[in-house]
Amino acid sequence: MRRERILFGTLGAVVVLAAWEICADLGVVNPTFSSKPSEVAHALYEYFQGDGLAALKTSAIEFGLGFGLALVVGLLAGVVMGRWRRVEYTLDPLVNFSNSTPRIALVPLFVIWFGIGMTSKVAIIFLSAVLPILMNTVSGVQAADANLLRVARSFCAGELQTFRTVIVPGAVPYVVTGIRLGIGHGLVGMIVAELVSSTAGLGYTIEIAGNNFQTPDMFAAVFVVAMIGVILTNALKGLERYLDRWRPKA
């Protein structure tokens, strides 16, 4: 099954890239606006021969700080809200309000508060990623099997032991989904923040390339961002398979 998935996934990508290249060569699409895979590949090579690594490093640091903070806060707050209803009742209106607010609309405000340096980018990435992690963690903790909880109490299991043996295994799929959503939202927040106010990073590269109609360079930077998301998502899937051994079996 895994080999078949890789085979068909690769085949689909090859077909799309080949069709794109052929359409550009035949003039079906305007290469000024769409470029073509061969030019994007060359731009990608040139990008990393120049300032590409520095831009990638800047974005990686911003994303690492923002997402790392979101992961810690989202998991801890999610567990607390999931286990103690009064805390959930207190914080739930604020969480819902924040989730209903477009984070992108807050970028100019964050720039005013924190300036155009790294702090504003980290703050936007944090705000973009923390809510999916928090909300899914709350759902996972509250979805714990009631029968297993009763069994744990009947054996006088403590809060920590119950959390480790019952709640965590059942919450893993929810938490992983939240982290996966957080990665996507965090990457979007990072790019938007760098587009609005930055002098470095992948988003800044995309902005400069777009303003100068350097379509291959723009696609190359977008490709790098997409690959970061793919790598992180696949790593998360591997972690989920590893943690799956903790889950109670029927």
Q: What is the pLDDT of residue 73?
A: 93
Predicted TM-score (pTM) of this structure: 0.80
Question: What gap in Å lies between CA 202 and CA 221, rounded to an integer?
Answer: 6
Cα 16 to Cα 138: distance, rounded to the nearest angstrom: 40
Angle at 130 between CA 124 and CA 136, to 5 degrees: 150
Residues of the chain with pLDDT under 70: 1-2, 31, 144-167, 243-250
Domain-by-domain residue ranges, the chain? Answer: 1-34, 35-246
Q: Are 157 and 165 in contact (CB under 8 A)?
A: yes
Write the DSSP assignment of 34-53 as a string of letters.
Answer: H--HHHHHHHHHHHHHTTHH
For residue 203, what is the enclosing H or E element?
Answer: helix 202-211
Cβ–Cβ < 8 Å for 244, 172: yes
The CA-based dihedral angle spanning residues 72, 75, 77, 79, taken in that order and rounded to the nearest 10 degrees: -150
Q: What is the pLDDT of residue 161?
A: 61
pLDDT at 69: 94
**pLDDT of res. 126:** 92
Question: What's domain 35-246's superfamily in CATH?
Answer: MetI-like (1.10.3720.10)
